[in-house]
Amino acid sequence: MNRPACLRLGLAFVVALASAHLPAAPPTQRAVILATTTSTQDSGLLDELVPLFEKQTGYAVKTIAVGSGQAIAMGKRGEADVLLVHSPEAEKALVADGAGINRRIVMHNDFVLVGPAADPAGVAKHTAQESFQRIAHSKAIFLSRGDNSGTHAQELKIWKAAGIPLEGQSWYQQTGLGMGQTLAIAAEKKAYTLSDRGTYLALRKKLGLPILHEGDPSLRNVYHVIEVNPARFPKVNEPGARAFADFLVSKAVQQRIKEFGIALYGSPLFFPDAGTPDAGSQH
């Protein structure tokens, strides 16, 4: 055997011997699959919270931002580990079915009715139900997300309470899109729409759509975190889901939620609720 070959063989032996004495690499933690509503994404809240969670815990988070209805459906099928959503009736049904566990209140904001500054339906200074009735009677364009989200569910409740049939109405149009995209289309069409306040404030400067109705008790918008039940879905990342849920309701993160948005928008986009009576879940 020539000298270069001997050297290569010896080097390989030394490397193998050294490797045998190295400690095994720690197992890679499974990513946490978070199914959530588009408002937490569009408002920028997750851009602040998720990197902090990843840094503190070592978990990576795969965020799937869809309507609350779609997020809850993912939980029902065991396709997510943890949910952050705002559709209380659907949430309670998920827990009652056994697919979700440990439902905890995280925060709230509210829904606002926005529309063209000219307000052709004259909704200002009226209740939410009266505002919707005026939109219907004037046949002003109303854009619905139409995506089974928490916002869509709340909107349909108001239409029902207002006694307005929607089927076949040309002025009632559904986008099938998230909140940010629906607001952009409403601005383009000079239409009315219902939005969560957080997403609206985050995009307000680009829209040219003022708030025309706010503050109605029926417009309270409450967010909960729910872990997907590992007893039903063994592949769920149980420790990761629990870690993320605990993170959201921790004092430090609740303080961050309280302060989020103030620097950029002059007011918070969400209000922390962890540990408080969950009165909002009844809406």
Write out the two tokens for 139.
């046949």
| pLDDT tens figures, 197-207 | 988 988 988 99
Q: Is the pLDDT of residue 16 over 70?
A: no
251/5: higher pLDDT: 251
pLDDT of res. 28: 58
pLDDT of res. 141: 98
Q: Does the pTM of the predicted model rise above 0.85?
A: no
Write out the two tokens for 196.
């969560």
Closest CA to 266 of 205, 181, 189, 191: 205
| pLDDT tens figures, 87-100 | 899 999 999 999 99
Q: Is the pLDDT of residue 26 over 70?
A: no
As a whole-number percent, the residues of the chain with pLDDT over 90 amount to 70
Structural contact between residues 282 and 219, judged by C-beta atoms closer than 8 angstroms: no
Closest CA to 226 of 126, 125, 132, 100: 100
pLDDT of res. 6: 43
Residues of CATH 3.40.190.10 domain(s) within the chain? 32-109+220-277, 110-219
pLDDT of res. 20: 42
pLDDT of res. 148: 86
What superfamily in CATH does domain 110-219 come from? Periplasmic binding protein-like II (3.40.190.10)
CATH 3.10.290.20 is the classification of domain 32-109+220-277: no
CA dihedral in degrees (56, 58, 59, 62; nearest 10)?
80
Q: Is the pLDDT of residue 217 over 50?
A: yes
Would you put residue 223 in left (φ > 0), alpha (ψ -120 to 50) or beta? Answer: beta
The rounded distance, in Å, linking the Cα atoms of 172 and 135 is 10
| pLDDT tens figures, 93-149 | 999 999 999 999 999 989 999 999 999 999 988 999 999 999 999 999 999 999 988
pLDDT of res. 152: 93
pLDDT of res. 279: 52
Q: Which sign does the torsion angle of CA 225, 231, 233, 237 carry? A: positive
Q: How confident is the model at residue 266 (pLDDT cuts 50, 70, 90)?
A: confident
Q: Is 237 helix (H, G, I), strand (E, B) or coil?
A: coil
Q: Is the pLDDT of residue 196 over 80?
A: yes
